[in-house]
């Protein structure tokens, strides 16, 4: 049975369907230019990119020079040509190699010519084949580290040096904009250490100043965004940068890898039940919760581009018989011929395991070639995990998490379903670019993404899930080993530690909601807000039951007046009128709040307006809100002054709403007026409300 929250999500998305279908097609392709160094058939050049499938190419990577903070070519041997030797304004990132100084100008101190392949211009020249193609220069990446970006962004003067050099670099080669890949503000991923705690604010300034400068020439500005909710919160002021960037590329992959010491899905679409508990190593580590975290933090969905991986993750199992998820695996799979990094495999290497007659790499000598030699959990076999919706396979000591055409399709349809800007591939040169392998078409994953984007298709009903602990019913479920999660004695200090969403509505068997009991999270409701309308009371056994008294929820509204200038006083007054929105879209409006036996809006007055539940015979202006069930919380509210003159409320908690509370455990929701005073001509004004409900 799907949660009420999930049902609301389905309805909202369905209503937005026509908008989603009308959006402009957007498929991004990251191009790792080092691919030209791969041996044999793994060698990849700019002309290998299929520009009919890519709307944007991200040419990666450039870097930033220490001290001068100028953008530079990371691999000038490939990026540039000897025609650039007379222009010393374009910097190369290589300052010295084997004692030989690499001067700007394509010739080292010892006379080595180092600009050979003109890779940047060759990539940009692909626009001749597709005039709508955009090519952005990506600066940064994991191996660039974060400290140089932290230093560069720390002062306005340093940022100006970077911005000035970036604009010159983009114009010189003909790029359409910049993709900033700082991993990440506040935390350097290369040595995995914190950087300047003010990076978040400096990143905001950098984006704002880049936007202002880029608008002169119409350059695009994007950045590669973290997927981990903790890193997101540490790195970005999302509500402040949204107007500065054209879109973000969400790096929604690398959720698991050999660094975990246990097997896991590299790019799960949703989480499994249990992974939502505080303390679980994969809490929030899935595409859906990353996307929702951005959106809840103030970033619009239509500015998010979903990343889809064409790389895979591989492990060596500690025990060949333990082949599920969370099974011990203490080292990455061996290097492969083309990926050349332990624990990483290109998608075409997975296909070669299936369709090559031999495995020539001696590091994999105990592997048997052939798809039928692998135990595979995927869509084709009908056993892909119903939450993760991503395949994995194992043979002997090897365990590999990967994406294929089916999983890329459902993830892209997820992007369509939620109105994301589109999807991108990391990276195009690790997809099956060589041509058909077995039954798999050339550019297997990219083609699947492109088809799904063009179709505009969304998710099927069984593919629409929620946060991890909402997903108990997803099916089928792949096997787990004992999860590396042993709740400590002090796991929770309060009910809020036990649920990602404190407003979650319990299902019938209470498996999706929890309360804190002596440090342990246990199944059950923690508050009335966890209970459905049919059983709205959370009793002492943490079970939702029907309200024994049949009493409604909203019981009292308090209005605190500091002063009222030129107001008209009478026993019957015109004053504050509220419109309140509760959980699940429930809403009500008051009349002009008025106690008919007293003046409510005189200076320094706290006026209380009770519902008829409190024994009064009239609603005192509560109107439709009299005894109304807002599900014990506010998600929005507006106020209108209906009287004469100018009403000035108290600064602290001027408007408060109380709910029926026999156990004294329901919140009081108080709202602030964003302006000093209110007049009737101001009309309906939004309030800033704070209460237990988000």
Tokens standing for residue 275: 């992974």
SS3 content of the chain, % helix, strand, coil (to 5): 25, 20, 50
Provide the pLDDT for residue 547.
65
Provide the pLDDT for residue 595.
87
- 220-225/247-250 β-pairing: parallel
Provide the pLDDT for residue 567.
87
Alpha helices in 174-315 (DSSP H): 199-214, 229-235, 238-241, 287-296
Provide the pLDDT for residue 4.
34
Please say whether the beta carbons of 83 and 109 come within 8 A: no
Provide the pLDDT for residue 7.
36
Q: Under 8 Å CB-to-CB from 484, ≥6 apart: which residues?
A: 260, 261, 262, 281, 326
Which CATH number is associated with domain 18-313+402-461?
3.20.20.80
Q: Under 8 Å CB-to-CB from 228, ≥6 apart: which residues?
A: 284, 285, 290
> CA 462 to CA 468: how far, in whole Å?
15
Please say whether the beta carbons of 343 and 258 come within 8 A: yes
Question: Where do the domains of the chain lie?
Answer: 18-313+402-461, 554-690
Q: Under 8 Å CB-to-CB from 71, ≥6 apart: which residues?
A: 62, 63, 64, 65, 91, 137, 139, 162, 165, 166, 169
Place of tokens 């978040």: 200
Alpha carbons within 13 angstroms on the beta-carbon side of residue 664 total 0
For the purposes of burial, counting CB atoms within 10 Å of the CB of 25, is it exposed (0-12), middle (13-18) or buried (19 or more)?
exposed
Closest by Cα among 465, 485, 458 to 272: 465
CA distances from 304 to 238, 245, 364, 466, 685 (A): 12, 11, 39, 19, 30
Provide the pLDDT for residue 13.
40
Helices and strands in the chain: count of H runs, count of E runs: 13, 35
Sign of the C-alpha dihedral, residues 671, 674, 680, 684?
Answer: negative
Q: Please count the other Cβ atoms lying within 10 Å of the Cβ belonging to residue 681.
A: 6
Closest by Cα among 376, 390, 256, 374 to 314: 256
The backbone region for 631, taken as left when phi is positive above 0, alpha when psi lies in -120 to 50, beta otherwise, is: left
Closest by Cα among 268, 248, 199 to 58: 248
Provide the pLDDT for residue 19.
37
Provide the pLDDT for residue 131.
96
| Residues in a beta bridge with 423 | 27, 306
Alpha helices in 174-278 (DSSP H): 199-214, 229-235, 238-241
Split the chain (694 residues) into runs of 10 and give each run's mean pLDDT. 37 38 83 95 96 98 96 97 95 94 95 97 98 98 93 97 98 98 93 92 98 98 96 96 98 96 97 88 96 95 97 96 95 91 95 92 92 98 98 98 98 98 97 94 98 97 94 93 57 71 79 77 82 76 70 82 86 89 78 87 90 68 82 85 93 89 78 92 89 50
Closest by Cα among 257, 145, 252 to 194: 145
Sign of the C-alpha dihedral, residues 684, 689, 692, 694?
Answer: positive
Provide the pLDDT for residue 150.
97
Domain spanning 554-690: CATH 2.60.60.20: yes
> CA 398 to CA 334: how far, in whole Å?
10
> CA 295 to CA 298: how far, in whole Å?
5
Provide the pLDDT for residue 154.
97
Provide the pLDDT for residue 380.
97
Provide the pLDDT for residue 206.
98
Phi and psi, residue 58, nearest 5°: -105, 110
Q: With b meaning 16 or more CB within 10 Å and e meaning fewer, what string describes 446-471?
A: bbbbbebbeebbbbeeebbbbbbbbb
């Amino acid at each position: 049975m799907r949660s009420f929250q999930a049902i609301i999500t389905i309805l909202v998305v369905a209503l937005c369907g026509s908008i989603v279908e009308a959006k402009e097609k957007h498929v991004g392709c990251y191009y790792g230019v080092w691919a030209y160094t791969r041996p044999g058939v793994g060698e990849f050049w700019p002309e290998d990119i299929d520009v009919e499938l890519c709307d944007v190419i991200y040419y990666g990577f450039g870097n930033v020079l220490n001290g001068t903070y100028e953008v530079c070519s990371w691999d000038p041997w490939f990026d540039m040509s000897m025609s650039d030797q007379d222009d010393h304004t374009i910097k190369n990132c290589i300052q010295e190699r084997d004692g030989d100084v690499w001067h700007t100008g394509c010739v080292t101190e010892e006379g080595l010519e180092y600009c050979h392949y003109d890779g940047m211009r060759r990539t940009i020249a692909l626009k001749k084949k597709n005039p709508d193609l955009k090519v952005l220069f990506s600066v940064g990446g994991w191996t660039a580290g974060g400290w140089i970006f932290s230093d560069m962004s720390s002062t306005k003067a340093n940022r100006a040096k970077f911005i000035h050099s970036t604009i010159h670099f983009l114009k010189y080669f003909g790029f359409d904009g910049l993709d900033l890949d700082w991993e990440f503000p506040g935390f350097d991923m290369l040595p995995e250490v914190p950087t300047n705690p003010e990076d978040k604010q400096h990143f905001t300034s950098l984006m704002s100043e880049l936007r202002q400068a880029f608008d002169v020439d119409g350059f695009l500005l994007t950045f590669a965004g973290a997927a981990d909710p903790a890193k997101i919160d540490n790195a970005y002021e999302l509500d402040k940068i949204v107007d500065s960037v054209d879109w973000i590329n969400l790096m929604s992959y690398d959720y698991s890898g050999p660094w975990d010491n246990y097997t896991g899905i590299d790019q799960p679409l949703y989480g499994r039940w249990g992974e939502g508990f505080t303390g679980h190593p994969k809490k929030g580590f899935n595409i859906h919760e990353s996307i929702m975290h951005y959106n809840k933090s103030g970033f619009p969905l239509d500015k998010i581009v979903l990343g889809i991986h064409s790389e895979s993750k591989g492990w060596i199992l500690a025990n060949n018989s333990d082949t599920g998820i969370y099974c011990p695996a203490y080292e990455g799979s061996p290097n492969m011929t083309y990926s050349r990094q332990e624990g990483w495999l290109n998608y075409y290497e997975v296909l070669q395991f299936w369709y090559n007659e031999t495995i020539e790499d001696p590091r994999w000598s105990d592997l048997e070639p052939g798809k039928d030699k692998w135990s595979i959990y995927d869509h084709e076999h009908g056993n892909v995990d119903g939450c993760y919706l991503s395949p994995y396979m194992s043979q002997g000591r090897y365990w590999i998490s990967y994406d294929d055409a089916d999983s890329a399709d459902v993830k892209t349809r997820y992007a369509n379903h939620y109105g994301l800007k589109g999807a991108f591939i990391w990276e195009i040169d690790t997809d099956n670019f060589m041509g058909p392998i077995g039954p798999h078409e050339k550019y297997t994953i990219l083609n699947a993404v492109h088809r799904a984007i063009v179709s505009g298709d969304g998710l099927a009903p069984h593919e629409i899930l929620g946060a991890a602990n909402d997903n108990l019913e997803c099916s089928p479920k792949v096997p787990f080993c004992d999860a590396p999660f042993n709740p400590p004695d002090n796991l929770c200090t309060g009910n809020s530690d036990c649920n990602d969403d404190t407003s979650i509505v319990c299902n019938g068997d209470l498996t999706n909601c929890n309360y804190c009991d002596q440090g342990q999270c246990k199944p059950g409701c923690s508050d009335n807000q966890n209970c459905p309308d049919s059983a709205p009371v959370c009793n002492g056994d943490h079970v939702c039951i029907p309200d024994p008294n049949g009493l409604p929820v909203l019981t009292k509204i308090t209005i605190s007046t500091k002063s009222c200038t030129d107001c008209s006083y009478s026993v019957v007054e015109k004053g504050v009128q509220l419109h309140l929105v509760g959980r699940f879209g429930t809403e009500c409006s008051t009349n002009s709040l008025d106690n008919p036996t007293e003046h409510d809006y005189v200076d320094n007055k706290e006026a209380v307006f009770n519902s008829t539940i409190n024994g009064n015979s009239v609603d005192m202006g509560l109107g439709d809100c009299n005894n109304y069930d807002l599900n014990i919380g506010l998600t929005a509210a507006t106020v209108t002054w209906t009287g004469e003159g100018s009403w000035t409320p108290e600064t602290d908690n001027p408007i408060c709403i109380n709910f029926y509370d026999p156990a004294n455990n329901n919140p009081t929701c108080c709202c602030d007026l964003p302006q000093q005073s209110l007049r009737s001509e101001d009309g309906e004004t939004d309030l800033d409300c704070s209460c237990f409900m988000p």
